[in-house]
Each structure stands twice: as structure tokens, then as C-alpha cells.
Amino acid sequence: MADLSMQKGGSSELAKFAIKQAYKHKVIILLFMAILLSVHTHWMVMREWHMPTYGNTMIHVASARHVIEKGEYPLIDYSYGGGIANLYVPGYRILVAVLVLLTGLSLDFASRLIVLLFGIMVPLGFFILGKKLFGENVGTIAAFASILPGELLIYTVRPLPQAFGLALLPIAFHAFYTKNFRVALLCAFAITLIHQEAIAYLVGGLGVYFGFIILHLLWKVILGKGFDSAKHSALLKTSLYGILFSLAVYLLWQFVIIGHINVFELAQFKNHEGNTVSMDSYILKTGSLIANFSLAGLFVCLAIFTKYAIDDIDSLPSEIKPGLRSFVIFLFASFGSYFVLNNFSISRNASLVSISFPFFLGPLAGMEIAAISLLVAFFGVLLMKVLDRSENYQKFDKLAYLFLFALFFAGFVAVKNDAIGLRVFMDRFLVYLQIPLIILAALGLNSLLEFAREFPKRYLQSYS
């Protein structure tokens, strides 16, 4: 009996110890779970007797095989009867060839194994980017959120250079954001030689960030406000060097292969490759959770910018600043809510066919949407009041919001440029837009959780 009670006491101590350790290492455990989920979704690549062939996967195998069998990279493409310069950047193909040469695995198995590696890298990349921008909670949510977009899975579950580029992009953005110059340039170099579209998005995102910083500085100059010139100069330099270095590496490759550097002569530009993205396909390929919560994240970003901008204007009487900000936030929230409830549309009666709103409410009439939007708008104002006082949110660098918004803006323009008649990339860049959307969704969800944590605490304190 004594032994049994000791044993019970021992196991209870052990359980307490295990719980304590699990709580202590909760982030690592959650991240591990996210990685397991990601590997689970990517495991389908192992299912068939042969690796997937959709998406031109075998053209990369051809170049890798050429490297293995001939000991050189093929400068002439195997596509469509051959005879055309092999313009596709060689990084991924050489990686597969090296893996086969080192391990003796078949090209088929090595290609599938690399997909599982991407499955591990994707949540890890989003974790480190989300954590750096908005802390551990957002990083952890982003790691889980990265599993949800169908389009991201479609492009990372097949042995494609694009999958490698997508897995590296969050890591590259992290390096550029933290101004880790060496790692940033190394990532830019690797992505440039792995996938053209991925580097186009990296360059586009950094370009927009660069532009936003310039606008921010102009704003400061116009208002006669000072700014940290050393910090902003370092930000501008890192972005600019990243852009120039990536362009130089790619153009050098293009010049060596086809003898000119005019990218607008490429068929992708000439043929206006890509299809328009409808709202239905956007939601289907992004997932309803990411689509909804990313709007919440976008709202938080815009509300932060609004506060920042209004606070900067000295000519405004300080008494009206909080009210003005609340009014603008109210407008953002009511419009965003109307947009979501109206089936992600601003057209009248779009909600009659409800495909996107995640709760079955039936078709909503205009008055119902208006009423709910009003409530959501009030909640939005309250949310920002709470977040303003949150110690966690006060720690976040305002540049994190700007950086994330820049990535969103670059992706949005790449996807919806048909609206301005450009019609390039479009659906081909939806998967890149999903990178900021995942972080935005994590920020949105974390903001709501922060509200649930902080509001009762603040409310009870402020009125007692």
C-alpha cells in the first residue's frame, strides 16, 4: 500500500513536472505540432507510385538528370522539341542533383523528400517572420495559419522550384526586416537562382517597403518632425541593396543564357500570362479563416497608421485627436464588416448567395448587414482602445506594421493589376499575396485574443 501511494505520489509529481515543462516550452511544442500538421498535409506527395507530374515538375528532373549524367548544367532546354535556351534559373535543379549525388537516392524519391523538407520549412519560416514582427503569439498562430491556404499547399506539395522559393521567402523577409545584411543577401541570391516569380515578389515587396519609408520620411519633413536618420538610412540601404543585388544576379543569368537583359521581351510579359482572380476563387484558395482574419489584421494595421498620422499633426487640437481617430477607425471597421457580410463584395445584394461568411446566417438583407456592421464598427473602436493600452502591443515596432502592409500591397497589386489594365501575373501571384495574408490573419486573431485577455482586466480596473 505504501509503495502504491508512493508510486501515486511519484506519478503525480511527474505529471506536475511534465505540465510545468510543457508550459515552459509551450511555443516549441506548438511549433512542433504546426510542423507535424504541415508534414501531414504535404505527405500526399508520397502516395502515388510516381511523383506528381502536374505543373511541369519533370522539366526540372530533366535538368537535374543532365547535371548528374553529364556533369554540367544544360544550356539548351528540353522543352517542346528543344533548341531553346534554358532560361529557367538553375538553383532548385542543382540542389536536387546534388542531393541525388550525395545520397544515391532516385530522382523521384529525392524530389519527394525535398517536398517534405518544404513542409517543415513553411511553418518555421512563418513562425520566425511573425515572431519578429509581432511577437511569439503571432508567430505561433502564423505557423498554424500557413497550413490553411489551398493555393500555398498546391505550390509547396509538388517538387517545384516555386515551392523552394515560397519556403525561403518568409526567411528572406525576416532577414531584410531585421537588417541582417549577410543573410538577407544570401537569401536574395538563393531565391534569385531558384525561382523567377519568387524573386519578383521579394523585389516587389522590398520596393514597396522602400517607397513607403520614403513617403513616411516625406510626411515627417512636411510636418517639420524629426526622424531617426541612421535607422531609416539603414532600412533604405538594406532594401535598396537587396533589390539591386537580386536584379543584378538575375539579369546576369539572363544575359549569359539569352544574350540580353530586357525582361519585357520574355514570353510571360509578352503573352500577359495569368488569369484574373475572382473573389470566389480567392476565398476558396485562401481559406475562409485566413480571408476573414487577415481583414482584421489589415484593420489593425490601418488603425495604427491612422493613430500615428493624426498624432503627428500638431495643428490639430489635441482634444479632437482621439475622437477623430475613433471616427476614422469606425469608418474602416464598418466598411470592412459590410464588405465581409456582403459576401466579400461592395455590390448591393451580393450577400444573397452566401459562400464566404463562415457562419450560416442565411442571406442577409441590407438592414441586417448595416446593423451588424455598426456593432462591429463600435467593437473596432473599442478593440483599438484596448490594444493601445496593451503592454504587449506597445512593444511592437510601428515599422512592423509598415513592413507587413508593404508586402500586402505588393502582393495585392501583383494579383489585381487587371483593375488598372496591366493584366500580368494575377492568379500566378495569389500564392505570394498569401504570405502577408497569413501574418495579417495571425495579427488579426491575436488582436482579438488580446482584447479577450485585456478588456475584462482593464474594465474591472478602470471602474472599481
Partner 1 sequence: MGALSILTNQRFKGVLAIAIYLIALVSSLGVAYYYNEDMNKAKWQADAWMNPVVTQEEEKSMKWVRENTKERETFVTDIFGGEHMMGESLREGTEGGDWAIIPNVVTRMSEVNEFYKTSDAQKASEIAKRYNANYAMIPNRQIFAGFEWLWPEKTKLQNTQYFELVYKDGDFEYYKIK
Q: Is 69 a residue that touches partner 1 (CB under 8 A)?
A: yes
Which of 50, 182, 348, 395 is the binder for partner 1 (CB under 8 A)? 50
Tell me which stretch binds partner 1 (CB under 8 A): 21-29, 141-149, 186-194, 390-398.
141-149
CB of 112 to partner 1, least distance (A): 11
Handedness of CA 314, 320, 321, 325 (dihedral sign): negative
User: Could you count the other beta carbons within 10 Å of the beta carbon of residue 212?
Assistant: 17
C-alpha distance from residue 284 to each of 151, 290, 298, 393, 418 (Å)? 9, 10, 20, 32, 20
Name the nearest CA neighbour of 205 among 248, 238, 161. Answer: 238
Q: Is 357 a residue that touches partner 1 (CB under 8 A)?
A: no
CB of 83 to partner 1, least distance (A): 9
Q: Is 394 a residue that touches partner 1 (CB under 8 A)?
A: no
Name the nearest CA neighbour of 163 among 204, 135, 193, 198. Answer: 198
CB of 206 to partner 1, least distance (A): 25
CB of 374 to partner 1, least distance (A): 18
Query: Which residue number, 152 or 191, has a Cβ lying nearer to partner 1?
Result: 152
CB of 297 to partner 1, least distance (A): 14
Q: Is 285 a residue that touches partner 1 (CB under 8 A)?
A: yes
Quick one: 6 exposed, middle or buried, by C-beta within 10 A (0-12, 13-18, 19+)?
exposed
Mark residues 242-281: x for contact with partner 1 by CB under 8 A, - for none: ------------------------xxx--x-x--------
Q: Is 197 a residue that touches partner 1 (CB under 8 A)?
A: no
| Contact criterion met (CB below 8 Å) for 234 and 386 | no
Length of the chain as a residue count = 464
Contacts of 5 (CB under 8 A, 6+ apart): none
Q: Is 148 a residue that touches partner 1 (CB under 8 A)?
A: yes
Number of C-alpha atoms within 13 angstroms, CB side, residue 187? 28
Q: Is 157 a residue that touches partner 1 (CB under 8 A)?
A: yes
How far apart CA 90 and CA 157 sit, in angstroms, is: 20
Helix (H), strand (E) at residue 392: helix 391-395
Which of 31, 39, 66, 143 is the binder for partner 1 (CB under 8 A)? 66
DSSP of 222-278? HTT----HHHHHHHHHHHHHHHHHHHHHHHHHHHHHHS---GGGSHHHHTT------
Q: Is 121 a residue that touches partner 1 (CB under 8 A)?
A: no
Contacts of 1 (CB under 8 A, 6+ apart): none
Which of 27, 29, 73, 78 is the binder for partner 1 (CB under 8 A)? 78
Which of 54, 71, 230, 318 is the binder for partner 1 (CB under 8 A)? 54
Q: Is 117 a residue that touches partner 1 (CB under 8 A)?
A: no
Handedness of CA 418, 424, 427, 432 (dihedral sign): negative
Query: Which residue number, 178 or 268, has a Cβ lying nearer to partner 1?
Result: 268
Which of 287, 297, 411, 444 is the binder for partner 1 (CB under 8 A)? 287
Tell me which stretch binds partner 1 (CB under 8 A): 76-84, 164-172, 181-189, 302-310.
76-84
Which of 27, 58, 310, 382 is the binder for partner 1 (CB under 8 A)? 58
Q: Is 449 a residue that touches partner 1 (CB under 8 A)?
A: yes
Which of 6, 22, 84, 214 is the binder for partner 1 (CB under 8 A)? 84
Taking the alpha carbons at both ends of the chain, their separation in whole angstroms is: 53
- What Rg do the C-alpha atoms of the chain give, in angstroms? 25
Which of 11, 12, 21, 53 is the binder for partner 1 (CB under 8 A)? 53
Torsion angle in degrees (nearest 10) through CA of 91, 97, 102, 103: 120
Binding site for partner 1 (CB under 8 A): 37, 41, 44-45, 47-62, 65-66, 69, 77-82, 84-85, 87-88, 107, 144, 147-154, 157-158, 266-268, 271, 273, 284-285, 287-290, 358-359, 445, 448-449, 452, 455-456, 459-460, 463-464
